[in-house]
Structure 1
Amino acid sequence: MVENKSSTLIQKKTYTIDEIAKQLNISMKSAYALVKTGAFHYVRAGRAIRVSKESFDRWLNQ
């Protein structure tokens, strides 16, 4: 029997800046600038920035 691996994985709740840049096909510099505009929620953990997936997806689909 094959187990559905996607059902056992935890859903991501955040994106990295790199993931944002790849999704939008923009440079990392542009992705950082976009995040800093405040268009969606993000948090800092030390030097790392994590963007709320829910907030980003809502912004992207509006």
Structure 2
Amino acid sequence: MEAIETFERQETAAVAGAEKRCYTVEDLQIILGIARGTAYKLLERHEFRWFKIGSTYRISKKSFDEWLDSKL
């Protein structure tokens, strides 16, 4: 039992330490300090690359970061 718990903690730490390749709509809200509706408007305007998994949007980190850098 203890070995399983140790493995699960190590696995969780590895995932947490992995660099994100995608943002969520919530991530955009936090990064930009905008409302949820405004974040979805950016998606509708195709300001950066994104895709859907089921009903959840994932935004390309690289594409978003490049877009944001161009705005600064």
Please give the range of the TM-score, normalised by the shorter of the 2 chains.
0.7 to 0.9
Question: How many Å separate the matches in 2 of 1:31 and 1:39?
Answer: 10
Higher relative contact order (CA closer than 8 Å, sequence separation 6+): 1
Q: Provide Cα deviations, 1:10-50, integer angstroms capped at 9, x if missing partner.
A: 11000000100111111001001111110100010000000
What is the percent sequence identity of the aligned residues?
32
* TM-score of the superposed pair, with normalisation by structure 1: 0.84
Match 1:42 to one of 43, 50, 61 = 50
Rg comparison, structure with higher value: 2
Where does structure 1 lack aligned partners over 5 or more consecutive residues? none
Structure 1 stretches of at least 4 aligned residues deviating more than 6 Å after TM superposition = none
- Which structure is higher in helix share? 2
Count of residues in correspondence between the two structures: 57
Across the aligned residues of Structure 1 and Structure 2, the Cα RMSD in angstroms comes to 1.7
AA at the equivalent of 1:38: H
- Distance in 1, Cα, partners of 2:30 & 2:17: 22
